[in-house]
Structure 1
Amino acid sequence: MGGAAGRLVGALELVMGGEVPVRVRAWDGSEAGGEGVPTLVVRNRRAVRRLLFKPGELGLARAWVAGDIEIEGDFYRALELLAGVVWERGEEAPGLGELVRRAGFRRGVAGLVRLGGVPLPPAPPKEEARRVRHLHTRHTDRRAISHHYDVGNEFYSLVLGPSLVYSCAYWDEGISLEDAQRDKLDLVCRKLGLREGQRVLDVGCGWGSFAMHAAREYGVRVVGVTLSQEQAVLARKRVADAGVAGLVEIRVQDYRDVDDGPYDAISSIGMAEHVGAEKYLEYARHLHQLLAPGGRLLNHQIARRPHGDEEAYQLDSFIDAYVFPDGELAPIGTTVTQLERAGFEVRDVESLREHYALTLRRWVRNLEAGWERAARLAGPGRARVWKLYMAASALAFERNRIGVNQVLAVRTPDSGTAGLTLRSRAWAG
């Protein structure tokens, strides 16, 4: 194999102890690797140095975000092939110690060093967040939320579409993304059993889509809280334009500082992933205290599959560094247990895993269709972050590596009367 691509593939195969699953094109125009698979375009030697100094996922992610590598062909297929090397090594995959002892490993690393040129670690792309190790104080949570959500309202409008709902939609045959998001919002309202005149808290209200839907369709009064200043500005404008300003209040406020209960219902849609394992019971207890007896909580939350005895784990290094700093996922069983420990009676759990995969693929399609504008709005690096994050997440949901669930819980009164559970219909109160 000639040229830089041949030398790169050869060195990588020595390091990995197996074939490189994609075709490679190097900065000198040379190509090497298999046929009929996506091509990994390595644009410069800096990409090699990134892999040397941060082997695996984070090195690849930094090279992608910086534009040092590109993918030609089916993006999802390329991620699946690379996942077998980077993200899904499995329990029986060799650890670093075994890799180092393999014949050829050191020769492979030496080859990469020669290809990489100047032996200095490249600076991470500016889009990488400074990490604080899951402190989950008000200050660190506000900073983490700002990193993710204060990317620009126009950018999010392009990706999410007119609904501006940043959580999984609820799909049926032949419907649009906007219709699927409307149906999800209505599903939450019906599970909460909303009735005119009730008071509702929307924790992590985003751009106000649920608050507007609940107020307009069910006549409830909604308080929405977010830590994102940019979200709040647009949410207030959307509320005013929708003619529901008399029913909806948008606050920039930490959920822990909400003290004006009781509320008849609480929605928490795609927010609890930011709470953290150590703070989760506090989160659940606070929401329980804010509810009136008989009040309902709809907790819509991404979950991971359980492995080992740990209750939660840090999101993978790319997601933690570039997308959701300090985010943590827990198994659904852990979430249900914590809600019950806080005093809730859990009445219903519904998995929407496949729905989220469909939603993410639509968001990726929106991003690709408006790529030039997205890169102008948020910067090319940030646009590349979002494409990788959403496409990889779609595959994770499709492969059952992660899931998402709606948990309906009640602050059951002393009488024990909490209403009948009628799946996908209103509850009988």
Structure 2
Amino acid sequence: MGVGSVCVNQASAVAMSKSAKRFVLNQLEKAGVTLNGADPWDPHVHNDGLWARLLRDGTLGLGESYMDGWWDAEELDQCLFRLINASIQDAFPKDLAEMWSVARGRLLNLQRLRVTEVGEKHYDIGNDLYAAMLDKRMIYSCAYWKDARDLDAAQEAKLDLICRKLGLVPGMHILDIGSGWGGFLKFAAERYGVSGLGVTVSKEQAALANERTAGLPVETKLLDYQALDGQFDRIISIGMFEHVGYKNYRAYFEKTASMLAADGLFLLHTIGGHHSTTHGDPWSEKYIFPNGMLPSIPQIGKAIEGLFVMEDWHNFGADYDKTLMAWHARFEAAWPQLSASYDARFYRMWRYYLNVFAALFRARNISLWQVVLSPHGVSGGYASIR
């Protein structure tokens, strides 16, 4: 290759970089965001390779470039909120990461092929991290802030709301699918006098859950939900359905229906998407929730048809913004101690995760649903509880 060819290639690369920058800056302007501006939500860019990277890699590139220190914003949540609220992603060309995510979702059933992957890569990364970030009961799902002023109170309110929606009374035997660190089972056993079984695919969660619930009539097993059997008066699933996958929604509800008493109730607590999809976000899939995807209302409706009567559908997705920002504040406060166990890139990854999800809920791009289901319809009607 001659000197002339090298010069031509370099000139072409520079031109492409300038074109990419103009495109991205135009999108930022639509969102009310100014490059290197004075507002706390304005991004400050440290690497001019960012523009081409965003066009090439989409949301994956946005998250990875933040992890790599290519850009910063004083108020990261506000920056991301403005980008999401202006729907600037719609203007970007389809990127390879998104196309690969779509293809994997359609061709494979990774939620069943790799049942334990999300436990190993997300929930097992360290109980010290989760203990520092979460409330005292270690509840890793949306809190209920209606009458609460702090995270502990908001999580207790959520747990009690679930118990009241299910009509728990002493002597009932309940199942918690995706039971985490045993927080709900402990609460329900102590406050409502029930016994119960919880299942999780996380070794760290199962071990700590049994330690924290010692002496109570509850147990947590390291077990895939499809391996369950038995009969239960009530079934609960809190923040687990996002890992089921659209190809398995029907089988999931068939399984729960087979284990629920004829006069029982099932409460599904899940993040939900406003559009039916068959894959997740490339950045989140790669770094936070492997094989995760959000269900839609039509997908849930089709999956429960003929199995359950929908008694109540409660959306309090705006509360997840407050929950995530509370987790973020606790994570930041604990970082000086956590930094001995986690590196700087993990820090940027984790804070990006908490802030981008808070922004998504703030923009009302995604929701949080509690759905109460019964096998045959509650005689006389179900009284909705808020």
TM-score range, shorter chain: 0.7 to 0.9
Query: After superposition, what is the alpha-carbon deviation per residue over 1:113-137, rounded to whole angstroms, capped at 9, x for unaligned?
Result: xxxxxxxxxxx9xxxx9x9655235
| TM-score, normalised relative to structure 2 | 0.84
Aligned partners of 1:361, 1:391: CA distance in 2, in Å?
7
Cα 1:298–1:43 change in 2 (3 A) is same
2:222 paired with 1:252: yes
Aligned partner (choices 369, 377, 381) of residue 341 of structure 2: 377
Segments of structure 1 that go 5 or more residues without pairing to the other structure are 1-6, 25-32, 98-123
2:111 paired with 1:141: no
Aligned partner (choices 255, 276, 280) of residue 315 of structure 1: 280
Partner of 2:371: 407
Partner of 1:191: 165
How far residue 36 of structure 1 moved from its aligned partner, in angstroms, is 3.4
Q: Give the AA of the match of 1:76.
A: D
How far residue 376 of structure 1 moved from its aligned partner, in angstroms, is 3.0
Q: Give the AA of the match of 2:140.
A: Y
Query: After superposition, what is the alpha-carbon deviation per residue over 1:136-184, rounded to whole angstroms, capped at 9, x for unaligned?
Result: 3545021123211111001011111312001111113452211110111
Structure scoring higher RCO (CA < 8 A, sep ≥ 6) equals 2
Partner of 2:10: none
Aligned partners of 2:250, 2:54: CA distance in 1, in Å?
41
2:161 paired with 1:159: no
2:76 paired with 1:80: no
Contact kept in structure 1, 2:55 and 2:92, CA below 8 Å: no
3-state SS of 2:187 partner: helix
3-state SS of 1:195 partner: coil
3-state SS of 1:89 partner: helix
Partner of 2:89: 89
| TM-score, normalised relative to structure 1 | 0.76
Partner of 2:182: 208
Partner of 1:65: 67
How many pairs align?
A: 362
Aligned partners of 1:94, 1:23: CA distance in 2, in Å?
18
Query: After superposition, what is the alpha-carbon deviation per residue over 1:17-44, rounded to whole angstroms, capped at 9, x for unaligned?
Result: 72755565xxxxxxxx544354544445
Aligned partners of 1:174, 1:249: CA distance in 2, in Å?
29
Cα 1:389–1:419 change in 2 (3 A) is farther
Q: From the two aligned structures, give the one with the greater helix fraction.
A: 2
Aligned partners of 1:418, 1:50: CA distance in 2, in Å?
60
Aligned partners of 2:58, 2:321: CA distance in 1, in Å?
24
Partner of 1:280: 249
3-state SS of 1:181 partner: helix
* Structural mapping, 1:202-241, within 5 Å: 202-240=176-214
Cα 1:48–1:36 change in 2 (3 A) is closer
How far residue 52 of structure 1 moved from its aligned partner, in angstroms, is 6.9
Partner of 1:28: none
3-state SS of 2:337 partner: helix
Cα 1:345–1:387 change in 2 (3 A) is same
How far residue 403 of structure 1 moved from its aligned partner, in angstroms, is 0.5
Partner of 1:104: none
Query: After superposition, what is the alpha-carbon deviation per residue over 1:50-84, rounded to whole angstroms, capped at 9, x for unaligned?
Result: 81784322122112223x32424222222234447
* Structural mapping, 1:266-345, within 5 Å: 266-306=235-275, 311-341=276-306, 343-345=307-309
Aligned partners of 1:205, 1:37: CA distance in 2, in Å?
38
Contact kept in structure 1, 2:317 and 2:361, CA below 8 Å: yes
Partner of 1:110: none
Aligned partners of 2:154, 2:50: CA distance in 1, in Å?
42
Aligned partners of 1:295, 1:327: CA distance in 2, in Å?
29
Query: After superposition, what is the alpha-carbon deviation per residue over 1:166-223, rounded to whole angstroms, capped at 9, x for unaligned?
Result: 1111113452211110111111111111111111000000000001011111111110
Segments of structure 2 that go 5 or more residues without pairing to the other structure are 1-14
Aligned partners of 2:341, 2:373: CA distance in 1, in Å?
40
3-state SS of 2:213 partner: helix
3-state SS of 2:137 partner: coil
Partner of 1:421: 382
Contact kept in structure 1, 2:17 and 2:51, CA below 8 Å: no
How far residue 89 of structure 1 moved from its aligned partner, in angstroms, is 3.0
How far residue 381 of structure 1 moved from its aligned partner, in angstroms, is 2.5
How far residue 345 of structure 1 moved from its aligned partner, in angstroms, is 1.1
3-state SS of 2:340 partner: helix
Contact kept in structure 2, 1:50 and 1:63, CA below 8 Å: no
Contact kept in structure 2, 1:132 and 1:326, CA below 8 Å: no
How far residue 327 of structure 1 moved from its aligned partner, in angstroms, is 1.0
3-state SS of 2:156 partner: helix
Cα 1:175–1:15 change in 2 (3 A) is closer
Aligned partners of 1:168, 1:158: CA distance in 2, in Å?
17
